[in-house]
Chain A
Amino acid sequence: MTPDLIIERIKNRHAGAVLSTKVEFGEGTVSIKRGSLLDVCRFLHNDPELYFDFITDICSVDFIGQEERFEVVYHFYSVRHNHRIRIKARAPENDAAIDSLCPIWKGADWLEREVYDLMGINFIGHPDMRRILMPEDFAGHPLRKDYPTEGRGERSTFDFIPDID
């Protein structure tokens, strides 16, 4: 199916959940309400015409300064039909949480842990919500825009490094 048809089908079924849609660079994107993520994704996975059985990626983007700061981006692919779709949902900073997709795609497990680790978004219902790349006692979430790229970070508190400032 072409991206337009996929978007049309999602709109027909979940009209209340869809906030906006667009087709850019030949890729379809659907922005949905955070609360209806699980419903929409179940539909994407089970509907025989769409049949998005393959979870490609989960990613998060930090739009600092905007009202709903975090955007979680999902990429799905259908091995049977050879088409793709991108689903997006937003979460505000004071309630950075979204439903986990682990009940639908087992592959979501590690991808969600990475988002949690690096961006600090909680996934409700995830079976094992731990840091994955950073050490367990690490403070902060490095991919947030207000986390500095350069500088010594927590190393400045180590007492065995001489202070050269």
Chain B
Amino acid sequence: MIRTEEMLLNMGPQHPSTHGVLRLVLQLDGEKVLKATPHVGYLHRGIEKLSESRLYNQIIPLTDRFDYVASMTNNFAYVRAVEKLLQIKAPERAEYIRTIVAEFQRIASHLLWLGTHAIDLGAMTVFFYCFRERELVLDLFEIICGARLTTSYYIPGGVRRDATSEFIDKAYKFTEMFPSKVDEYDTLIKNNRIWLGRTKGIGVISAEDAINFGLSGPTLRGSGVNYDVRKAEPYAAYDKIEFDVPLGKNGDVYDRYLIRVEEMRQSIKIIKQCLDKMPKGPVVIDNPKIVLPEKKKTMTEIESLIHHFKLVSEGYKTPPGEVYCGTEAPKGELGIYIVSDGSNKPYRMKVRAPSFVHLGAFDYMSKGHMIADIIAIIGTIDIVLGEVDR
């Protein structure tokens, strides 16, 4: 007698392909998945609650920890929301530097995604190649801000340090070298029969459903929906440069892979244009109530010392009101919603984390697939659990 009953399988939270701590409970009929229930919260640190008792500038290091493999864009999203609330605008040079660094971060994040996604599906070599180049991007971050992962580089009113000539030289070198490396990754998997078999027609989501679920970023564009915050609501220097938004057709794992790879090429294009066009000038606004004065001034002028003291001890007040500000992070639309009561701390800060919303569509995307395909689908929605749980 063959027993044909359904079975529950627990996957994670320590499974290597869950990219952190994600637990899935799979309801199985043989090897077919009938229902996949994600359980999250293992990395919940209460960043939203913590930020209610922090000064606006003290929240920046917390934002590093949402999506800890793309902390630059997290800083960017938060800083933009605060700037919108304060109604200030960073100097032009700072906007260009922000754009360059954000695109480098997109490359780093996509490289990490491509490497781990490929290793999950059995392509070992891609991982080593991707991490080789990601290392160079992290070296660039080290030059510009001293940190590699938790950067805290953006501040309301500009960026913490200017781009040195060493950074600019190395950035140029990287843009020249990198496109050939992307071609190299293509030779490994783009037309690989196993890769095609594992990714084509898996995790399909239609354009209509993808919008209805609130998916964003490459996960949405894989279904052919042309929505990119950089184009829809241009910020920083994105309206001054040319780039394309790659779109998919079928909304499957393979299309989303193609899009992320193409996005890396577009990022290089953006960085190159920004490096060429970057004007000279200050990188922070001249407002000592919001930005710390120069160290030299703090040591010699009493006024700057007072500003320094006030800014560190009680921060700055924002006008009462509320803002929502969406930024195109590597994973999708990272939105920050701040409710201010006019004090020096946010009354409430909500983070719209793209990974969290994507995981909500996980059950829908994985229904009817095999267990092995679950790994491909976890990879393709590009989740980072730090961002899901916050």
Contacts and interface: CB of A to CB of B under 8 A. Distances in A.
A43 interface: no
B44 interface: yes
Nearest to A25: B323
Interface string A85-101: 01000000000000000
A93 B203 CA distance: 41
Interface stretch (A9-17, A33-41, A48-56, A154-162): A48-56
Interface in B316-357: 321-324, 326, 333, 335, 337, 339, 347-348, 350, 352, 356-357
Given A59-B350, A61-B347, A107 B48 contact: no
Interface in B55-94: 84-85, 87
**Interface residues of chain A: helix, strand, loop or mixed (majority):** mixed
A134 B357 contact: no
B49 A56 contact: no
A136 to B, nearest CB: 9
Contacts of B390: 133
B53 interface: yes
A53 B206 CA distance: 14
A53 B41 contact: no
B389 A107 contact: no
B346 to A, nearest CB: 11
Summarize B's interface: helix, strand, loop or mixed: mixed
Interface residues of A, number: 35
Interface stretch (B121-129, B176-184, B207-215): B207-215
Nearest to A86: B324
A29 B321 CA distance: 11
Contacts of B356: 110, 114
Interface stretch (B2-10, B149-157, B358-366): B358-366
B49 A107 contact: no
A106 B362 CA distance: 12
B215 to A, nearest CB: 8
A133 B361 contact: no
Interface in A100-119: 105-107, 109-111, 114, 118
Contacts of A135: 41
Contact of B324 (A84, A109, A134): A84
B26 to A, nearest CB: 16
B80 to A, nearest CB: 12
A59 B323 CA distance: 13
Contact of B360 (A73, A84, A109): A109
B278 to A, nearest CB: 28
A142 B347 contact: no
B197 interface: no
Contacts of B361: 106-107
Contacts of A55: 212, 214
Most buried by B among A27, A59, A82, A147: A59
A133 B23 CA distance: 12
> Which 9 residue pairs spanning A and B have beta carbons closest together?
A107-B214, A110-B360, A133-B41, A59-B350, A57-B352, A107-B213, A133-B44, A55-B214, A61-B348
29 contacts: A27-B323, A53-B211, A53-B212, A55-B212, A57-B337, A57-B350, A59-B350, A73-B322, A73-B350, A75-B352, A79-B211, A82-B232, A86-B322, A86-B324, A106-B209, A106-B364, A107-B213, A109-B360, A110-B359, A110-B360, A111-B357, A114-B356, A118-B48, A132-B40, A133-B44, A133-B389, A133-B390, A135-B41, A147-B49
Given A59-B348, A79-B211, A133-B390, 16 more contacts: A25-B84, A25-B322, A25-B323, A27-B323, A55-B214, A56-B214, A56-B335, A57-B335, A57-B350, A105-B213, A106-B209, A110-B357, A114-B356, A133-B41, A134-B44, A149-B49
